[in-house]
Protein backbone atom coordinates (compact mmCIF):
# COMPACT_ATOMS: atom_id res chain seq x y z
CA UNK A 1 0.00 0.00 0.00
CA UNK A 2 2.86 2.36 0.80
CA UNK A 3 4.31 1.92 -2.67
CA UNK A 4 1.35 3.56 -4.42
CA UNK A 5 1.63 6.78 -2.46
CA UNK A 6 5.38 7.34 -2.36
CA UNK A 7 7.32 9.00 -5.19
CA UNK A 8 8.81 6.62 -7.78
CA UNK A 9 12.37 7.39 -6.66
CA UNK A 10 11.55 6.31 -3.12
CA UNK A 11 9.69 3.21 -4.30
CA UNK A 12 12.84 2.02 -6.08
CA UNK A 13 14.92 2.64 -2.95
CA UNK A 14 12.42 0.77 -0.78
CA UNK A 15 12.35 -2.19 -3.16
CA UNK A 16 16.14 -2.43 -2.92
CA UNK A 17 16.02 -1.94 0.85
CA UNK A 18 13.51 -4.74 1.38
CA UNK A 19 15.79 -7.18 -0.43
CA UNK A 20 18.60 -6.70 2.12
CA UNK A 21 18.83 -9.23 4.93
CA UNK A 22 22.24 -8.78 6.54
CA UNK A 23 23.04 -5.09 6.15
CA UNK A 24 22.40 -2.03 4.04
CA UNK A 25 24.54 0.63 2.39
CA UNK A 26 25.58 3.33 4.89
CA UNK A 27 23.81 6.15 3.03
CA UNK A 28 20.43 4.44 2.77
CA UNK A 29 19.07 5.47 6.20
CA UNK A 30 19.83 9.13 5.56
CA UNK A 31 17.97 8.84 2.24
CA UNK A 32 14.93 6.98 3.57
CA UNK A 33 14.28 8.53 6.99
CA UNK A 34 13.42 12.12 5.90
CA UNK A 35 10.65 11.14 3.44
CA UNK A 36 9.28 8.56 5.89
CA UNK A 37 8.98 11.24 8.57
CA UNK A 38 5.92 12.68 6.83
CA UNK A 39 4.08 9.38 7.37
CA UNK A 40 4.78 9.26 11.10
CA UNK A 41 1.43 10.68 12.17
CA UNK A 42 -2.03 9.42 13.07
CA UNK A 43 -3.61 11.05 10.03
CA UNK A 44 -3.29 7.76 8.13
CA UNK A 45 -2.85 4.78 10.44
CA UNK A 46 -2.01 2.30 7.67
CA UNK A 47 0.81 4.52 6.40
CA UNK A 48 1.99 5.03 9.98
CA UNK A 49 2.19 1.27 10.38
CA UNK A 50 4.24 0.86 7.20
CA UNK A 51 6.55 3.73 8.12
CA UNK A 52 7.25 2.26 11.56
CA UNK A 53 7.96 -1.17 10.07
CA UNK A 54 10.47 0.39 7.69
CA UNK A 55 12.11 2.35 10.52
CA UNK A 56 12.30 -0.79 12.67
CA UNK A 57 13.91 -2.68 9.79
CA UNK A 58 16.42 0.12 9.26
CA UNK A 59 17.30 -0.02 12.97
CA UNK A 60 17.77 -3.79 12.73
CA UNK A 61 19.95 -3.72 9.61
CA UNK A 62 21.98 -0.58 10.22
CA UNK A 63 21.67 0.54 13.83
CA UNK A 64 24.74 2.77 13.93
CA UNK A 65 23.69 4.75 10.85
CA UNK A 66 19.97 4.85 11.59
CA UNK A 67 19.69 5.36 15.34
CA UNK A 68 21.13 8.91 15.58
CA UNK A 69 18.86 10.21 12.85
CA UNK A 70 15.74 8.59 14.29
CA UNK A 71 16.57 9.81 17.78
CA UNK A 72 17.11 13.36 16.53
CA UNK A 73 14.27 13.65 13.98
CA UNK A 74 11.49 11.19 14.86
CA UNK A 75 11.56 9.87 18.40
CA UNK A 76 9.60 12.73 20.00
CA UNK A 77 6.85 12.31 17.38
CA UNK A 78 6.73 8.57 17.97
CA UNK A 79 6.37 9.11 21.74
CA UNK A 80 3.34 11.30 21.02
CA UNK A 81 1.84 8.73 18.67
CA UNK A 82 2.41 5.83 21.08
CA UNK A 83 -0.19 7.13 23.54
CA UNK A 84 -2.81 7.85 20.92
CA UNK A 85 -6.04 5.90 21.34
CA UNK A 86 -6.27 5.82 17.52
CA UNK A 87 -3.34 3.40 17.43
CA UNK A 88 -4.43 -0.20 17.73
CA UNK A 89 -4.09 -3.53 15.97
CA UNK A 90 -1.40 -3.58 13.29
CA UNK A 91 -0.33 0.00 14.01
CA UNK A 92 0.23 -0.83 17.67
CA UNK A 93 2.17 -3.93 16.67
CA UNK A 94 4.32 -1.71 14.43
CA UNK A 95 5.06 0.67 17.29
CA UNK A 96 6.00 -2.28 19.48
CA UNK A 97 8.32 -3.60 16.75
CA UNK A 98 9.82 -0.13 16.44
CA UNK A 99 10.53 0.12 20.18
CA UNK A 100 12.01 -3.39 20.20
CA UNK A 101 14.36 -2.47 17.35
CA UNK A 102 15.18 0.89 18.96
CA UNK A 103 16.22 -0.72 22.24
CA UNK A 104 18.27 -3.35 20.42
CA UNK A 105 19.99 -0.64 18.35
CA UNK A 106 21.11 1.32 21.42
CA UNK A 107 20.88 -0.40 24.77
CA UNK A 108 21.34 2.87 26.68
CA UNK A 109 18.16 4.39 25.26
CA UNK A 110 15.91 1.94 27.13
CA UNK A 111 16.17 3.84 30.40
CA UNK A 112 15.19 7.06 28.62
CA UNK A 113 12.29 5.61 26.63
CA UNK A 114 10.11 4.81 29.64
CA UNK A 115 10.07 8.28 31.24
CA UNK A 116 9.73 9.90 27.82
CA UNK A 117 6.67 7.80 27.01
CA UNK A 118 5.09 8.61 30.37
CA UNK A 119 5.89 12.34 30.07
CA UNK A 120 4.39 12.44 26.61
CA UNK A 121 1.21 10.78 27.86
CA UNK A 122 1.00 13.10 30.88
CA UNK A 123 1.22 16.17 28.62
CA UNK A 124 -1.63 14.95 26.44
CA UNK A 125 -5.29 15.60 27.06
CA UNK A 126 -6.80 12.70 29.03
CA UNK A 127 -9.17 11.90 26.15
CA UNK A 128 -6.20 11.74 23.78
CA UNK A 129 -4.06 9.38 25.85
CA UNK A 130 -4.16 5.62 26.06
CA UNK A 131 -2.34 4.39 29.15
CA UNK A 132 -2.77 0.84 27.84
CA UNK A 133 -0.76 1.65 24.71
CA UNK A 134 2.00 3.24 26.76
CA UNK A 135 2.06 0.23 29.11
CA UNK A 136 2.41 -2.10 26.12
CA UNK A 137 5.29 -0.01 24.75
CA UNK A 138 7.02 -0.12 28.12
CA UNK A 139 6.45 -3.87 28.32
CA UNK A 140 8.06 -4.22 24.89
CA UNK A 141 11.09 -2.24 26.04
CA UNK A 142 11.45 -4.52 29.08
CA UNK A 143 10.91 -7.64 26.97
CA UNK A 144 13.55 -6.50 24.49
CA UNK A 145 16.07 -5.74 27.20
CA UNK A 146 15.33 -7.82 30.32
CA UNK A 147 18.47 -6.71 32.17
CA UNK A 148 16.90 -3.28 32.72
CA UNK A 149 13.53 -4.68 33.81
CA UNK A 150 13.83 -3.88 37.52
CA UNK A 151 14.90 -0.28 36.93
CA UNK A 152 12.29 0.23 34.23
CA UNK A 153 9.49 -1.12 36.39
CA UNK A 154 10.65 1.04 39.31
CA UNK A 155 10.73 4.12 37.07
CA UNK A 156 7.30 3.40 35.58
CA UNK A 157 5.77 2.75 39.00
CA UNK A 158 6.69 6.32 40.03
CA UNK A 159 4.18 7.53 37.48
CA UNK A 160 1.31 5.30 38.53
CA UNK A 161 -1.42 7.04 40.44
CA UNK A 162 -2.73 5.42 43.59
CA UNK A 163 -6.44 4.75 43.37
CA UNK A 164 -8.48 5.77 46.39
CA UNK A 165 -10.56 2.64 47.01
CA UNK A 166 -13.28 4.50 48.95
CA UNK A 167 -13.69 6.97 46.12
CA UNK A 168 -13.76 4.14 43.57
CA UNK A 169 -16.38 2.25 45.55
CA UNK A 170 -18.51 5.39 45.85
CA UNK A 171 -18.45 6.01 42.10
CA UNK A 172 -19.16 2.39 41.36
CA UNK A 173 -22.40 2.46 43.34
CA UNK A 174 -23.68 5.61 41.63
Neighbours of 104 (CB within 10 A): 17
Q: Considering the entire predicted model, what is its pTM?
A: 0.79
User: What ranges do the domains of the chain cover?
Assistant: 2-173
Residue 163 — very low, low, confident or very high, per pLDDT cuts 50/70/90? Answer: low
Residue 160 per-residue DSSP state: P
Helix (H, G, I), strand (E, B) or coil at 7: coil
Please give the pLDDT value at position 3: 43
**Contact at 8 Å (CB) between 149 and 138?**
no
Select, from the ranges 12-26, 91-105, 134-148, the one with the highest average predicted confidence (pLDDT): 91-105
Please give the pLDDT value at position 111: 82
Please give the pLDDT value at position 167: 45
Q: Which of 19-23, 41-45, 59-63, 144-148 is predicted least confidently?
A: 19-23
pLDDT tens digits for range 78-99: 999 999 999 999 999 999 999 9
**Contact at 8 Å (CB) between 118 and 156?**
yes
What is the C-alpha separation between 117 and 78, in angstroms, rounded?
A: 9
pLDDT of 174 over the 50 cut: no
Neighbours of 30 (CB within 10 A): 12
Please give the pLDDT value at position 26: 77
Please give the pLDDT value at position 170: 43
Amino acid sequence: MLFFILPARLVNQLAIFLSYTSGIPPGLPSTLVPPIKTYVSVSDISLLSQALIILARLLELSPMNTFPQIERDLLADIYDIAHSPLVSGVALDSILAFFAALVQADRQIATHVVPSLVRSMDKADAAQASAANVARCIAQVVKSQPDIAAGTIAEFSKHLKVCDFKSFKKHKTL
